[in-house]
Amino acid sequence: MQIQLPITTYGMDILRRKTKSVLDIDGEIFELVNNMMFTVRNADGIGLAAPQVNKDVSVAVIDISLIDEYKNYDPLILINPVILENHGEIVLNEGCLSIPEVRGDVLRPEKIHLNYFDLNMKEHNREFEGLPARVIQHEIDHLNGKLFVDYLNEEDLKKNKVLLKKIRNGKIETEYPLYNPKENKMNQ
């Protein structure tokens, strides 16, 4: 049975820590991946990294199939992903389930060469570009303790200052469950 995991939010320590590598796929990792995929779909997101569900492991899931032009795009499970190369630059507007309602323009490479493992611990080396490359970079940032707001210019940060403070203080509501450290005693 899949469950929707609560999302950690801006200001929580786990979002600023580098995750630990996954050494082997056990039942716990398999269950985590399935629940993360269920969670991202039910939150109307397109990517989710383990720290966003309060887990300190190098795992991310991506499903951009809810976007019309990518409806036939297979979901990705990334274990221990590393960007080997990148090319070009493009600015696009980003948001994040862990930072609800905040959006901003972020400059990122347009194409990436990625090394990662799948759920069978099979190694892959693939090129990605466009939206898939962007979402992968966003999720890998999460695995390294970095958030998209770290890329925002002063003007965008100022514009979102009050909202960021509300999120940090737990004064935000969403359609999906949020992690509350006082209520949830999950393992990290």
pTM as predicted: 0.95
Q: How many domains does the chain have?
A: 1
Query: Of the listed 85, 89, 139, 183, which one is catalytic?
Result: 139
- Looking at residue 160, what is its pLDDT? 95
Does residue 176 form part of some domain? no
Does residue 2 form part of some domain? no
Query: What residue numbers bound the domain in which 156 lies?
Result: 13-168
pLDDT in tens, 5-34: 999 999 999 999 999 999 999 999 999 999
Residue with tokens 């998209």: 148
CATH of the domain at 70: 3.90.45.10
Does residue 112 form part of some domain? yes
pLDDT in tens, 90-136: 999 999 999 999 999 999 999 999 999 999 999 999 999 999 999 99
Does residue 184 form part of some domain? no
Does residue 38 form part of some domain? yes
Among this protein's residues, is 129 annotated catalytic? no
Does residue 76 form part of some domain? yes
pLDDT band at 1 (very low <50, low <70, confident <90, very high): confident
pLDDT in tens, 37-77: 999 999 999 999 999 999 999 999 999 999 999 999 999 99
pLDDT in tens, 146-175: 999 999 999 999 999 999 999 999 999 999
Cα–Cα distance, 140 to 81 (Å, whole number)? 7
- Looking at residue 184, what is its pLDDT? 57
Does residue 173 form part of some domain? no
